[in-house]
Amino acid sequence: MGMDKKKVRDYMTYDVVTVDVHGSIREVIEKIQKTGHDGFPVVNGNEVVGYIAARDLLFVPPSTPVEKIMSDHLIVADPDMSVNDAARVIFRSGIQKLPVVDEKNCLLGIISNTDVIRSQIEHVSPEKVFNFITTLQKLHGISPELKRESVPIEMLLPTQSRIYEDELEGRMYEIRKGLAEPLIVVRRPGKLILIDGHHRAIAARKLGIRALDAYVIEINENIELGIERTAKAMNLQTLDDIEVLDYARHPLVAITHRLVKRN
């Protein structure tokens, strides 16, 4: 499924911590300390009326009413907005989170820059597939065939030595929702080489799924690809050889957090 079909509702957080418009800054500080969040939608009942961020609290007495400090210049998202559109709003406006509201401005959830990046890290586009085929043609002088079919997960030869636990959870969620992108696989005599989609393959296996949709690049010539040699050098033979890093966030997510905090 393409990114244009991925909706905000598929990636937003439904359990949102909010601040009451009639509360005080002291309550906001307590919620920041308790949750570690850097900002909250401000609500009147269930209607979103503003947003308050940690940076808004500098030099503000704790007894100050929330409604005097909050920003009422709201940028919000619709649950049926595409993730691509939400990404444009988030990154062009420089904000970290978009409250998601219905037509009556009632809060439904929240989507963050991290959610957007997670939805796109392993995005497969036709251009990505055809660029890889073009590279094969230039390097080896061959004309591979492209097919779209289901491939058995346990037969895949990995070419990536590490994946990330937080990203793995995102891929499991996508598979459950039917939103997972196809893998990119090279089939040559006796081998199925996984080029793109290592998080998806491991996620599917954890969910007990035995096969996944894939773009299959068929090579009939008996040639060893450079990516195969690299995998061999890393002793990668099965998906079990991939290390799952549960203590590290995906580099793109970490970089974005650093950039946002720096700004």
State pTM to two decimals. 0.56
What was the pLDDT predicted at 106? 95
Angle between helices 113-120 and 251-262 (to 10 degrees): 150
What was the pLDDT predicted at 72? 87
**Domains in the chain, ordered, with CATH?**
3-119 (3.10.580.10), 122-252 (3.90.1530.10)
- 110-130 confidence digits (pLDDT tens): 998 877 766 665 566 677 888
Query: Which residue is it, tokens 């008996």?
Result: 222
Predicted confidence (pLDDT) at residue 195 exceeds the cutoff of 90 = yes
Predicted confidence (pLDDT) at residue 12 exceeds the cutoff of 50 = yes
In this structure, are residues 188 and 113 in contact, taking their beta carbons and an 8 Å threshold? no
CA distance 47 to 43: 5
